[in-house]
Structure 1
């Protein structure tokens, strides 16, 4: 499932969804923008998630349904938190009502426009009243704030940095998917970095091999591949490809280092 916050679109069409999803088998729901601000969009594979209900507010959207493979009934809610304390309190109250209405495991994700701890905002010396309200709401709802271990901040503007994008899940969610984890994606042109939530038990298995465009800009790459390929001799092709990944990883580390760590440092 893909959630987009602040789409700035007053209308979302099937054409828009297919362009993003690259398939016409997607289901979607949206909350229209107000002029060129706000806007929410959720897209999912209809063979994976079956929608039963949808609830919408000005700054949130909840889709209730079933994860087909596990017959898991749940609600996924995309949130774009307001800036003012009174408006935030109204949103938390609305979400509390929807949670009580559905009575199934919940996942809230999005831009909450609020921090929970001092270290989540660069240079912060105290928590605001609205941050205290947010912490109280999370505790009252018995939600788990999934830790984001691979980066400190999720929003950047000039010298300002904050961790305001997050995923909150209920205990029922973690009972079904105990290995749920959160990581940050590359920031790109946005001042927010995307968040990727996945269940490690669902993605267990051999790590896929990836080729990087930057390899082919290095004058020694193809020569190294050619030499390593010859040294592997006449073994079965798939085994040869698998064996080739070892010297490629070694060569990559020697010439480029840990790219994920370097990107994270540049972003920070």
Structure 2
């Protein structure tokens, strides 16, 4: 989650105006209660500055990430960009992947709920009985990737079909045709 939280966590994140200690504690409790991580900020210490004579600066804008997200993208960074016309600096998240060899294979338990997936793996194992376990796992991995690719393609096609049908129904409703049918069909989707 990211944005302008309009509060700082620590006194050193603000110059000029003094923050309420209670506000800082509540913001820190919020972050900790959701197990979020306040990513370090590159490119500067503050994300907001007043445009008045007396300069005030604060780190109000930031991204907070869950531990699960950090496990998936451990090299993510938030970077402060130069200001344009706003009194806030834009913040961007960058993830620079480090080439560490082949992409790891990830298996998801919910695949086992799909009968076609289980069938593919069972067929692969029964047809490859006489090979070593490493090669068998490699075959299962390859078949799994093919299955995932095919499943995503089918889901994308079905989603496109449903979006087209929804657009058709909305056009009919706009013309005053089939308003009841539209609501019935949307409920069934």
TM-score where L is the length of structure 1? 0.34
Q: Which has the higher strand share?
A: 1
- Richer in helix (by share): 2
* Greater RCO (CA < 8 Å, at least 6 residues apart): 2
Q: Indicate the structure (1 or 2) with the bigger Cα radius of gyration.
A: 2
TM-score under structure 2 normalisation?
Answer: 0.48
